[in-house]
Each structure stands twice: as structure tokens, then as C-alpha cells.
Amino acid sequence: MDVTETHEEDLGIEIVLPEGGKTAPCCPHGPTLLFEKVCEGGEGGRRFYACSACRDRKDCNFFQWEDDKVSEVRLLARRAENQLKRPPFTQREYSNRFRKFASLPLHEKKFCQDCQLLLLPAEHSAHSAHRSSAVTAAQLRRPSVLLRPLDNKKSNAQYLFTDHSAHFLLDTLAGLGYRKVLCVGTPRLQELIKLRNQEQKQEPMKSLLLDIDFRYGQFYSQDEYCHYNMFNHHFFGGEASSAVLETFLRETGGEKAVMVADPPFGGLVKPLANSFSLISQTWRTLQSSDDCNKDMPMMWIFPYFFEPRILECLPSFTMLDYQVDYDNHPLYKHGKTGRKQSPVRLFTNVSARDVVLPKDEGYRFCSACERYVWSLNKHCAKCSLCPSKDGREWKHCSTCEKCVKPSWKHCQSCGRCALPDHPCGQDRGKQGCFNCGSLKHKRRTCPLKDTHRSNSFRSKAKAGGKKVSRRPLVKPKGKRKSGAARRAKKLAAQSV
Ligand code: SAH
Ligand code: ZN
Ligand code: ZN
Ligand code: ZN
Ligand code: ZN
């Protein structure tokens, strides 16, 4: 949950979503994304392809200018490299291995910690110098406990739900009548669904895990796991694998499906929203004709300060007040010193008034807003809403005519509310619109944005010359941090 990642748009880097016809070059993580540096005045800079999944070039150093001519030799080398980085087994092989493993006697069930692999008896000797441990039947059902969480800060840190939050999610989804849960980057949720099915206390649920961490594949059958990249909607197992998703989304026998995604928080919102829309489209084509305008019900778990960005990409979503807790996050778990508030929320297109938040944990129903809110989120009659985003009680500023964070004070010279120690008057120039320079809005909401630069075509003549650092997304030296990044830092420092 390294949320200090820089915001794609505030950096002046825009993602150009794939248009029909043009195929992006592939890195080991599937088709790359096309990035474009946006320069002052709104002109587009030179475009380049970079990895969709990795924000750190240590993890994937793919880079190619859009107009680069790539030699045949390089293409072959690239293909060989992509081949090398594939999982050691196909999903079919993984599920066959799992079946064999599950039927072994206890003393032959071994897990190699160094290789993060369930070992079959014939493989024991090859791993004898590695650290390995016995695996009980119970452990086999909890892969998210057995596997070492990836802790790569930038691209793929794995933060697992507390059982409490996971059970809340499942109870909520069951209560809403869903019987199929598409788990996108939520391995612990998938595992809890299976555990709950075994207990037979509730109606059974089906689940399918889509995740880039192929270690999870070894615990599941072919219709329970797909090796998938949620930043480019890429199925590593090809069509056979995307067919698994289609089969899952078919709501035979009236079993309603819902998606729950918990992407890495350094992730880029736009490509994620694009992938989720594609999943929704697939779902829609499988619905009976009277449902052809509906969207697939979804929950996207992400920090609250991404709200404007998510709502911009997916306008039918709303942010709920529920605070999602994690087991292994250094900042946002229940500590000895009491509960630290998590900044992570649910974004959903399910009607907010239907998602009941637990009273005994301090949530209440606001009948004016028609949604459940956190206890400190007091309704403001002047704003006619429950304004708090961060879990603290906000207060109304009559000059700004809106509610603001409790720590903010109205500043006469800036003409707005800000932290008492804000760099007064200094941030004016920087705060303006990157596109037209106006101080009234950001580039994102600029009315001139689309007239200045079109998404689909730019004059090639202007593309050259402008230098873009090799991987501008990686280390934006000297660039200011985005609002989201600043807030993340502050949160970490204050632990409010
Ligand atoms: N809270 C969740 C785990 C979230 S951590 C739970 O408890 O189940 C983020 C998850 O997204 C991890 O499982 C990680 O492997 C997966 N992930 C990271 N990058 C991904 C990508 N590009 N495509 C698909 N899954 C990804
Ligand atoms: Zn090993
Ligand atoms: Zn107010
Ligand atoms: Zn004010
Ligand atoms: Zn503007």
C-alpha cells in the first residue's frame, strides 16, 4: 500500500487507452500501455510504451517510443525474454499437481518456502537444500497465509484483508443476494468463500480469482483461477483463460455475480477503470436482452483520496464510508494502541443505501443522504450532505461555503481554507490548470482540455524534440507530489 506513488495526471503524464487496430508491444506483463507526457499549454509530448503493471523499472524495464522502429532481432530477443518470465506451469498443470498434492499423506506434503511451491514427492530431493515446511490440510486451504506476501513497494505489495473486513464483505454481498464473486486481486476473499462453503452455514457462493500472482494458481482448479493483469485486461493463458471468465459471468440458474477488486494502490486509475469496464461489457453480453443496459455490480477497494479520479472514470460509482482493514499493513491495522483509521474505502455502483454498514462499529444511517456513514461524519445542513472523506469530523466554513477538514483554517490571503502552516500565497501559480493556466480548475476538469489536444491524433511534427526522461513515471525528480501522494505522506506522518 505504498500510496506515495505519483498521480499520473498531476505529473503531466496521460495514458492513451488502446484504440482499435493498433497493437501495443508486449512486455512479460502483456500488452504495454501508451503514455504521453503533457506539456505546458496542453500540447502532447512524445508518446512511449511502458509496462502496464510495474511502476519501477527494476521490475520491468520495458520502454519503447511510439514511433520507434524495432528490429527483428530485438523483437525475437524480447519474445524470448517474455517466454522466460512465464510461470513454470500452466494452469492445467497447476491444478493437476494440486489434485495429486491434496491426496498425499501428510508426511509427504511439503511446501518449498524458497520456491514458494507445493512439492510433489519426486521433487523433494531437488529442493532438499531449500527451506521447506509440512503442509496440513487446513494450511492448504489458506494459500494467503502459506504464501509469503509480495512486498515490492511500488508495483505489487500485497496487503491482505483482516478476517473481520473479509467477512464483512462476504456477509454484505451474500445479503445483497450475490452468489458469484469475481475476485480481482482479492485472493483472501476467494479463500474465505471456499472456507465458508465448507462450513455449510450459508448458501454456497462461487468464486473466480483473477490475479497476476501466479503462485496462487497452484492451489486452484482451472475454473477457479486465471493468471490475469488488471491494468491491461490481459489473460496470460490466452483465450482458454478468458473463456473461463465468460463461463463464470454467465448467471445460469439466476446466480447473481459481483466483482470485488483490490488493486495495488500505486496503480493507475484510468487503465483499471478501463479493465473493469471491459469486464462489465463481457458480463452484459451474457445477460438476457432486457438487461442490456445494465452494468455489472462492482466493488473497487481503494484509498479515499482517489475519489475524484475514480468518479471521473466511472461516474456511476459512489464512495462508501466503510473503512477496510488490513492484516499486514504497518500503518492501517488494528494496533495495540487502538484502532488506526484506514484510508481505504469501497467504491461501488451498487446503491449506497443498500450497503448496510455495521452499527456496532460506529456507522449509522443518514436518512437525508440515504446512505450509511461513519459516526464522526455529521450531516451538514448547509451543504446538505455528510461531508467527511477521511473519517474525521469536518467543519463548515461559511466563507468557502463548504465543509473542510478539521485541521484547516480559512486563510484570507489565499482566499480558501488550508492547513495553518501552508506555504501562504506561494502555491497559487502551481495550483492552476496545467492546460490553460486558469486558477479556477485543474487540467483534469479543464473545459478546453479536449480542444487543445485530441486523444486520437497528434501532429507527428510536434512529437520530436521534447525530451521525456526514460521512465518519467518512475522517479519524477523535482516534480511536485500529487495531492493524493501528499495526503498519503501526511497520513503516514500524523496517523490521524
Ligand atoms: N486485500 C486483498 C489483497 C490485495 S493486494 C486480499 O486480502 O485478498 C493486491 C492484489 O492484487 C494481490 O493479490 C496482487 O497479487 C494483485 N495484483 C497486483 N498487481 C496486479 C495486476 N497487475 N493484475 C492483477 N492482479 C494484480
Ligand atoms: Zn525449492
Ligand atoms: Zn457544510
Ligand atoms: Zn474557508
Ligand atoms: Zn483549463
Distance CA 287, CA 310 (A): 26
Coil, helix or strand at residue 48: strand
User: Which residue from 170, 93, 106 is spatially nearest to 138, judged by alpha carbons?
Assistant: 106
With cut-offs at 50, 70 and 90, classify the pLDDT of residue 8: very low
Looking at ligand 1, which atom is closest to the CA of residue 262? 4
Could you say which ligand is closest to the alpha carbon of residue 451? 5
Distance CA 18, CA 23 (A): 8
Distance CA 311, CA 308 (A): 5
- pLDDT of the residue at 4: 36
Give the type of residue at 300: W
Coil, helix or strand at residue 480: coil
pLDDT above 60: residue 395: yes
What is the distance in A from the centroid of ligand 5 to the CA of 453? 12
Predicted structure pTM score: 0.85
Enumerate the β-bridge partners of residue 207: 181
Looking at ligand 1, which atom is closest to the CA of residue 183? 8
User: Which residue from 222, 240, 326, 281 is spatially nearest to 3, judged by alpha carbons?
Assistant: 326
Digit-coded pLDDT (tens) for 342-367: 899 999 999 999 999 999 999 999 99
Give how far Cα 297 sits from Cα of 177, 279, 325, Å.
11, 11, 22
Could you say which ligand is closest to the alpha carbon of residue 299? 1
User: Which residue from 403, 430, 432, 400 is spatially nearest to 416, judged by alpha carbons?
Assistant: 400
Digit-coded pLDDT (tens) for 209-232: 999 999 999 999 999 999 999 999
138: left (phi over 0), alpha (psi -120 to 50) or beta: alpha
Q: CB pairs under 8 A, 24+ apart, for 115-123?
A: 116/147, 116/148, 116/215, 117/88, 117/215, 117/218, 118/218, 118/219
Query: Residues lining ligand 1, judged by CB closer than 6 Å?
Result: 53, 156, 158-161, 185-189, 211-213, 228-231, 262-264
Q: Which residues have CB under 8 Å from 328's CB, separation 6+? A: 149, 158, 159, 160
Torsion 45-454-316-32 (CA) sign: negative
The residue among 478 and 258 whose pLDDT is bigger is 258
User: What's the whole-number average pLDDT of the chain?
Assistant: 84
The residues placing their C-beta within 5 Å of ligand 2, an ion, are 112, 114-115, 127, 130
Digit-coded pLDDT (tens) for 269-302: 999 999 999 999 999 999 876 667 789 999 999 9
State the cell numbers at 122.
519426486
Q: For a pocket test of ligand 1, which of 225, 230, 260 has the largest count of ligand atoms closer than 8 A to its C-beta?
A: 230
Q: Which residues have CB under 8 Å from 124's CB, separation 6+? A: 110
The residue whose CA is least distant from atom 8 of ligand 1 is 186
User: Which residue from 486, 496, 491 is spatially nearest to 6, judged by alpha carbons?
Assistant: 486
